[in-house]
Amino acid sequence: MRRCLYAALALLATLSVSPAEQAIVPPFERESWPVAPTLIDTHVLAALKARGIEPAHPCSDAVFARRVYLDVIGTLPGPAELRAFLGDARPGKRAALIDALLEREEFADYWVMKWCDLLRVKAEFPIKLWPNAAQAYHHWIRESIRLNKPYDTFVRELLTSSGSNFRVAPVNFYRAMPSRAPEGIARTVALTFMGARLEKWPADRQAEMSKFFSLVGFKATSEWKEEIVFFDVIRARTQPAATNWPATFPDGSPVKADPGRDGRQVFADWLVKADNPWFARNIVNRTWSWFLGRGIIHEPDDIRPDNPPSNPALLAYLEREFVASGYNQKHIFRLILNSRTYQLSSIPGSNAPPDAAGFAYYPRRRLDAEVLIDALCQVTGTTESYVSPIPEPFTYIPPEHRSVALPDGSITSSFLDLFGRPARDTGLESERNNSITAAQRLHLLNSGHIQYKIENGPALQSLLKARQRPADVASELYLAILSRYPTAGELKTMDAYAQSGAASGREAAVDLAWALINSDEFLYRH
């Protein structure tokens, strides 16, 4: 009863506010679209129309630049790059920027971090890959992403590799699992590559899927912490029952494989087929959620029949494109990033809640912990130091190394922990927590750590020293911190602050930098 009432109220709210009444907000929005609509937009708009929800306005060029830098390479645009982009009058400049960012070195750093969360890359317990194996694994994932390895090849290598954890890096996939029992392996494989929670399946289907992983062997060598992952041929020969593959795959199609073959390969052959109902769906749905804040199926790693997609046509379209492109991840990135849907303003055009809004605006999200500290370092010209004292030998990370590119999730950092870095224990998307807390605000508003960066950071210092006119200082700070020029109103506020006597000269400029760093506009992707 109450639910009906809420639904009715929500509907009323969405009908009563239309963008026709809602004026554009200049620094964040623009009147007209600089890009053409795509098929993604057709699907999204059709769903919005059916629900009577108005999409937000187009985002401004400055907002687009900041957004696409943060989303694609996890890095703020530098003031020079930004000036060039904003001053560029060519109509195709947004697409050109997307293409350029997809080829940057930072692209690999940022997306490796994402994959290391999902694949649980960390040296210490409970996963215990150990530092050199974690480094090898991180390097292998980075090379795969840098070279844009086709996704089916990437997954097949993770699933079927055999050898030493130091020399054949992808075998660490099996070592970084919470459980090495066949059911445990099956659970991790289903979660990672099918976006499915095996524990929600009927028991007999769980048991069938586990059988493909019943002969994965692990053995130590005489080298410290080396471990070989292999298909246990001896057990396959001596225990023929262990290679009696189940009659059907998880989708019900029949298994036709020689007994005695490596079950991991039998499973991988089935998984990466074009018509597999989970494989492409899982990755395009996750990709969508990485850019648009929610999966078309949500949670993005909880695909099951009773959790249907909010926009089935859109999901099916992305799946077709992915398979037709030869499992090219960057193709899907390009499709999404070039759509008007992705380039909507973050100021909603209606009051519909996010789960009902159908991607009618770009969702604001607090910066990832690593991205945030890198942004603070970039703006102020400072560095962080990371050490992993356990286990020996100590790992010292060079100061210029960015936090996004840390290879090992168990490197201790109270800042990263405070801002929701995942522990990399479960591989769940929800393990990363980007909600904002009072403790985080305390740290940013008032800690010695951040205070030191703002007061003493060489990049801010030289910016303040090189310019005399307060308006010039303000413009430079806005470009560096918020990736846009200040509005006339903001310049006036700043002038008034400098005149008020609350702080003068350099102090006033420091306070301005402090305020911009503490604004929602800096702390969020928007």
Partner 1 sequence: MSEQAMTKNTDLERWTARMITRRQVLKAGLFGAAGLLLCDRLLPRVLAGTANGPAVRPAKARAVIQVWLWGGPPHLDTFDPKPDAGEAYSGPFKHPIATNVDGIRICELLPLLAKQADKYSLIRSMTHGNNGHETAAYMVQTGWPSGGRVVHPTLGAVVSLFKGYDAGYKGLIPPYVVLTQPQGRFSEAGFLPSRYKPFATGGDPAARRFAVEGIVAPGISDERQKSRQALLGNLNTLRSVSNDAEAAASVKAEKEAYDLILGDAGKAFDLAQESDEVRTRYGRSTFGASCLVARRLVERGVPYITINSGGWDTHKENFQAMRRMLPQLDMGLASLLEDLSQLGLLDSTVVWCGGEFGRTPRVDVAPPWNGGRGHYGKVFSALVAGGGFKGGRVVGASDARGEEVKERPVYPCDLLASIYELLGIDPAASLSHPEGYAVPLTPSAQDGAQVGGRLTEIM
Of 25, 46, 220, 324, which one interacts with partner 1 (CB under 8 A)? 25
**Beta strands 365-366 and 386-388: pairing type?**
unpaired
Q: State residue 47 phi and psi, 5-degree precision.
A: -70, -40
Nearest approach, Cβ of 199 to partner 1 (angstroms)? 7
The interface mask with partner 1, positions 367-396, x = CB under 8 A, is ----------------------xx------
| Percent helix, percent strand, percent coil in the chain, to nearest 5 | 55, 5, 40
Q: Radius of gyration of the chain from Cα atoms? A: 25
Does residue 227 sit in helix, strand or coil? strand
Q: Is 102 in the site for partner 1 (CB under 8 A)?
A: no
523 near partner 1, judged by CB under 8 A = yes
CA atoms within 13 A on the CB side of 15: 8
Kindly tell me which of 383 and 493 has the beta carbon lying closer to partner 1.
493
Exactly one of 10, 17, 27, 495 binds partner 1 (CB under 8 A); that residue is: 27
Region from 165-173, 264-272, 448-456, 457-465 binding partner 1, contact rule CB under 8 A = 448-456
457 is a contact residue toward partner 1 (CB under 8 A): no
- DSSP 3-state assignment of 364? coil
Q: State in angstroms the smallest separation of the CB of 478 from partner 1.
A: 10
Contact present, 526 and 364 (Cβ < 8 Å): yes
- Is the CB of 226 or the CB of 495 nearer to partner 1? 495
Q: Which residue of 149, 235, 365, 467 would you call a contact of partner 1, by CB under 8 A?
A: 365
Please select the residue that binds partner 1; options are 153, 239, 244, 433, rule is CB under 8 A: 433
Binding of residue 438 to partner 1 (CB under 8 A): yes
- Which residue from 417, 456, 462, 472 is in contact with partner 1, where contact means CB under 8 A? 417
* 461 lines the binding site for partner 1 (CB under 8 A): no
Tell me which of 420, 453, 463, 476 binds partner 1, using CB under 8 A. Answer: 420
What is the C-alpha to C-alpha distance for residues 522 and 526, in angstroms, rounded to an integer?
A: 9
By CB under 8 A, tell whether 506 contacts partner 1: no
Pick 270 or 524: Cβ nearer partner 1: 524
3-class state of residue 365 by DSSP: strand
Choose which of 135, 172, 440, 483 interacts with partner 1 (CB under 8 A). 440
Q: Does 451 engage in binding with partner 1 (CB under 8 A)?
A: yes
Give least dist CB 216 to partner 1, A.
17
Question: Is the previous residue joined to 312 through a cis bond, with omega within 30 degrees of 0?
Answer: no
Measured distance CA(36)–CA(339) in Å, rounded: 8
Interactions with partner 1, residue window 165-194 (CB under 8 A): 178-179
Give me the torsion for CA of 65, 71, 76, 80, rounded to 10°: -30
DSSP class per residue in 293-348: SS-SSSSTT---TTS--SSHHHHHHHHHHHHHTTS-HHHHHHHHHTSTTTTB-SS-
Is there binding between residue 526 and partner 1 (CB under 8 A)?
Answer: yes
Residue 83 CB partners (closer than 8 Å, separation 6+): 479
Please identify which residue in 88, 106, 183, 431 interacts with partner 1, judged by CB under 8 A.
431
